[in-house]
A and B are shown apart, each in its own frame.
Chain A
Amino acid sequence: GAVVSQHPSRVICKSGTSVKIECRSLDFQATTMFWYRQFPKQSLMLMATSNEGSKATYEQGVEKDKFLINHASLTLSTLTVTSAHPEDSSFYICSARPPNSNQETQYFGPGTRLLVL
């Protein structure tokens, strides 16, 4: 299967700081990547769709000014959690869709665990 990486795998930060999470597709070009958030004992919730070369589209209830997404190349999307607060502590997971495959097939990165103190 296709390989997707994320960095960092874990981050601890103070309240009010900004945190950047990178998502890379290692062996394919991804015009579309997705960002999910998962709280403990809950399922994955789609936050936004990241489109290379254009603005991200956000799901209802997700603040676009708080969760900045940049998809500057076909292999990299970044999620920046601005002015993070303890309620933003969660498991953030990206996924990427390979081109020329079934359009719903997505491969997930290993996730980034964020803890805001």
Chain B
Amino acid sequence: QKEVEQNSGPLSVPEGAIASLNCTYSDRGSQSFFWYRQYSGKSPELIMSIYSNGDKEDGRFTAQLNKASQYVSLLIRDSQPSDSATYLCAVNRPPSNTGKLIFGQGTTLQVKP
């Protein structure tokens, strides 16, 4: 079992729709969860972090965390063609003070005009 799992996609949505990206993780000791966006040929950029169960909203983005189910998701509302990228889920590797992150393989999102 991979430590962090994502569906590689591609996930294709029409412009203006909601894109839903999912991620599961294996280590129940993980406490910090991140979503990064990576454009082709570029390095990842942080979109959101989430540490508590529930939802966290930032503009068009909403992160959702369910520690009991070991599941974290990212919703992108009003998807734009510029959102087309690979979205990486990252989870801290316990213990929490090491700063080490484990990344999923990423989900490729295609937003079609």
Residues of A with Cβ closer than 8 Å to B? 1, 32, 34, 42-46, 49, 93, 97, 102-111
Q: DSSP class of B's interface residues: helix, strand, loop or mixed?
A: mixed
Residue of B nearest to A97 (CB): B99
A interface majority secondary structure: loop
Please tell me which stretch of B14-22, B57-65, B67-75, B102-110 contacts chain A, meaning at least 4 of its Cβ atoms lie within 8 angstroms of it.
B102-110
Which residues in A have their C-beta under 8 angstroms from that of B88?
A: 43-44
Question: Does A104 contact B102, Cβ atoms closer than 8 Å?
Answer: no
Rounded to whole Å, the gap between the CB of B103 and the closest CB of chain A is 4
A32 touching B46 by the CB < 8 A rule? Answer: no
- How many chain-B residues does the 8 Å CB contact rule pick out? 22
A90 to B88, CA, bound (A): 18
The number of inter-chain residue pairs (CB within 8 angstroms) is: 52
Q: Is the CB of A49 within 8 A of B104?
A: no
Q: Do A111 and B43 have beta carbons less than 8 Å apart? A: yes
- Interface of B with A (CB < 8 Å)? 32, 34, 36, 42-46, 49, 88, 92, 96-106
B105:A103 contact, CB within 8 angstroms: no
Q: Say yes or no: B102 contacts A46, CB within 8 Å.
A: yes
Given contacts A43-B105, A44-B88, A49-B98, is CB(A104)–CB(B49) below 8 Å?
yes
Cα separation A1 to B36 with both chains bound (whole Å): 14
- Chain A residues with CB under 8 A of B46: 1, 105-108
| Chain B residue with Cβ nearest A57 | B98
| B106 pairs with A49, CB closer than 8 A | no
Return A101 CB to nearest CB of chain B, in Å: 11
Q: Quick check: B101 and A111 within 8 Å, CB to CB?
A: no
Question: In the complex, A73→B108 CA distance in Å?
Answer: 37
- Cβ of A14 to closest chain B Cβ, rounded Å: 24
